[in-house]
Structure 1
Amino acid sequence: MTLWRIRATVDDRPGYLSVLTASLALRGVNILTVQVQPTEQGAVDDFLVDAPDTLDEAELVAAVQRGRGRDCWVARSEARGLADQPTRVLGLANRLVRDPDATGEALRALLNADSVSWRPAATGVDRGSTGTAMLLADPAGGSFALRRAAPAFTPAEYARAQALVELAATVARRAAEQVTLVLPDGAELGVRPSGADDLTGLVELHEGCSARSRHRRYLGGAAAPARLRRLLEPSRGLTLIATAAGPDPAAESVVAMANLLGEGDEAEVALLVRDDWQRRGIGSALLRRLVRHADRAGYAALVLHVQAENTPMLRTLRRLRRPHSAERDGALLTLTVPLAVATAVRKGTFLTPGA
């Protein structure tokens, strides 16, 4: 007996799957696993079967077609294919928790892709799957492009792959940014990505800042709770908060916030430090961490909108010791810091020979 994978589309109507399985059974084919994936064209049935050695690929295709199956794809399989799909996905998710940099390899294993590459940005291309090509959004910025010769990707496969990418991005962000920051004066702060449950701390941070500090951060705009919620968990980018322990070790107060908000291949950066914690190196430390994150994510440049009189922020930027350009519009400066675009290998490019 020989293991095969068979994928075919049948009309999503009662009894049609049984007709297909009966046609396979008449030729001695034993169905070991089956997955049904709904699509607009019908139900895509994915089988792992054990077939007699005398049956070849053409005969299996003919059996599927006699069973009212269409768009048939048949390929030899290995014993590892006996693991059911949920088990495989959970195994790959566990691997990404331990090593989020293995995203490209996990995607290739999940979808049997011929090639997986990471792009700094997807310009003019809609994310999703079309035939044998797939484009996945990377929450950290950019996108993953996948291809395989056959079969065509299904919506269910796209959803699984996107979930894995989002898991890897979350793990990488949390692991990379949870640190203890030791200031030059010896004080210690916790630095971590923000979450939805940090809203109260963020509101208290803004209440503890002077009107001047808030004006410099928001350029005269308001920091309403709805806006703060969006900053806590940006759809693209990262928000870091710095926390100081209070008299009660279990309680902490947010004393600074740093935002990296992605738009296209650039990311906007902004800082807010509570007045009584300013001039202690917090802004410089948070800005350096955002720059490293932007480098890893593959952004082409950082953009900062700063009031020309905001000397502390301009001094913080100079401490980066990175070249930057400035454009002035009245009292507002727009500063652009070019970044080295991350290579595809850093994000995980895997090509099979001849791909």
Structure 2
Amino acid sequence: MTLWRIRATVDDRPGYLSVLTASLALRGVNILAVQVHTTERGAVDDFLVDAPDALDEADLVAAVERGRGRDCWVARSEARGLADQPTRVLGLANRLVRDPDAAGDALRTLLGADTVTWRPAPAGAGAGITGSTMLLADPGGGAFTLRRVAPDFTPAEYARAQALLELSATAARRAAEQVTLVLPDGTEAAVRPAGADDLAGVVELHEACSARSRHRRYLGGAAAPSAARLRRLLEPARGLTLLATANGDAGPTETVLAMANLLAEGDEAEVALLVRDDWQRRGLGSALLRRLVRHADQAGYAALVLHVHAENAPMLRALRRLGRPASTERDGALVTVTVPLAAGARGERKGPLLTPPV
């Protein structure tokens, strides 16, 4: 038996695929996998088959044509073709998360392209497929051109390739946004934007924090928030969440040391921090706070708002070290601090520096 790839177009009508598969079965061809690509010309069926050694390319083409298939393309395959398409795509996605610069090689592997070239000019209105040529917009800038001798590309392949490029761009952007902080005691921590896949690490962060730290962060009970709430904090609809980790390598061994949230509503943004107990009073919280303030300045928010327990002296000290004008309002044990950003960004000093609440 020999492995083959067969691609053919059939009318997208009930029963037509079964006619084609029956024609192949009559010749002893075992279908191992099939993908269906919907196009304007009909359904493009992509088969991986195991055929008797006595059958050659011409025999397989004839079998397809007798099964009402057209535009047939046949080529020998290898054992690696037995891996199903979702498994292959997930493997390539994992590779791109680790190495965003491998986008070209990933596209070649995904689509079996003969050539993959990148150019700095944007794809523009020309993005799409023309026969065996594909032009893809690179979200990071520029465009990729893919070519193969046969078969022609399909819209489904174009969509997969574009999604893979978008994943690569996201991974590259995340890597570029990661910085390494050197704290006053000489220790290092990596800081980067959070994502949905950080949920497990953030859950572990909350479990590692004392009840007092969780109470200071959430102003209520000492219990950790639900997974649903943590997901919303990791990817806020408006704003930014930063994570500090013990190393720069993303993965299951990464330890989250702190989480800093900037949650926007209207023209103001609320800030909150949670730092693991054994990393408190080392300058990590202050460093994260300064980064959130800088982001809020650049994003054009009018003010930052922080709700702090009056006994949370470390957080109040971190706010004073910003050197920004601020106002405070106390309601029992709760202090609300408002830091205007527009005035601060212009270098104006229209209010007093933060003073301890009374």
Q: What range is the shorter-chain TM-score in?
A: 0.5 to 0.7
Does the alignment pair 1:132 with 2:132? Answer: yes
The counterpart of 1:197, out of the listed 213, 232, 236, is 236
CA distance in 1, matches of 2:175, 2:145: 25
User: Structure 2 CA distance, aligned partners of 1:150 and 1:129?
Assistant: 13
| Backbone CA RMSD of aligned residues | 4.2
Q: TM-score, normalised by structure 1?
A: 0.57
Q: 1:81 to 1:259 in 2, by over 3 A?
A: farther
Q: What residue ranges of structure 1 are gaps of 5+ in the alignment? A: 203-223, 230-242, 261-269, 279-309, 312-355
Identical pairs, percent: 71
Decide whether the 8 Å contact of 1:180 with 1:191 is kept in 2. Answer: yes
Partners of 2:128 and 2:267 in 1: CA distance: 29
In the TM superposition, what is the alpha-carbon distance from 1:123 to its structure 2 partner? Answer: 5.5
Deviation at 1:24, TM superposition (A): 0.9
1: CA distance between counterparts of 2:172 and 2:101? Answer: 8
Would the aligned equivalents of 1:190 and 1:244 in 2 still touch at CA under 8 Å? no
The answer for the alignment partner of 2:6 in structure 1 is 6
Higher relative contact order (CA 8 A, sep 6+): 1
Q: 1:257 aligns with which of 275, 289, 295?
A: 295
Superposed counterparts of 1:1-355, under 5 Å: 1-122=1-122, 125-181=125-181, 192=192, 197=236, 199-200=238-239, 252-253=288-289, 254-257=292-295
CA distance in 1, matches of 2:124, 2:55: 46
In structure 2, what residue type is equivalent to 1:116?
Answer: V
**Count of residue pairs brought into register by the alignment:** 241
Runs of 4+ in structure 1 off by over 4 angstroms are 181-184, 188-196, 224-229, 243-252
Residues 132-185 of structure 1, C-alpha deviations (whole Å, 9 max, x = no match): 11112221111111111111111111111111111111112112321135699x
Q: Which amino acid aligns with 1:150?
A: A
Contact conserved, 1:199 with 1:228, CA < 8 A, in 2? no
State the distance in 1 between where 2:154 and 2:76 align. Answer: 20
Please report how far the alpha carbon of residue 54 of structure 1 lies from its aligned counterpart in structure 2 after TM superposition: 1.3
Determine which structure has more spread, i.e. the larger CA radius of gyration. 2
Q: Deviations over 1:200-243 (max 9, x none)?
A: 569xxxxxxxxxxxxxxxxxxxxx979999xxxxxxxxxxxxx9
Task: Tell me the distance in 2 between the aligned counterparts of 1:190 and 1:256.
Answer: 18
Query: Judging changes above 3 Å, is the alpha-carbon distance between structure 1 residues 15 and 200 closer, same or farther for their aligned structure 2 residues?
Result: closer
Partners of 2:164 and 2:26 in 1: CA distance? 39
C-alpha distance in structure 2 between counterparts of 1:228 and 1:163, whole Å: 34
- Alpha-carbon contact 1:10-1:16 (below 8 Å) kept: yes
> What is the TM-score normalised by the length of structure 2?
0.56
Alpha carbons 1:122, 1:143 under 8 Å: kept: yes
Superimposed CA distance per residue, residues 84-109 of structure 1 (whole angstroms, 9 cap, x where no aligned partner) = 11111111111112211111111100
Residues 4 and 156 (structure 1 numbering): CA distance in 2 closer, same or farther, change over 3 Å? same
Shift of 1:38: 1.1
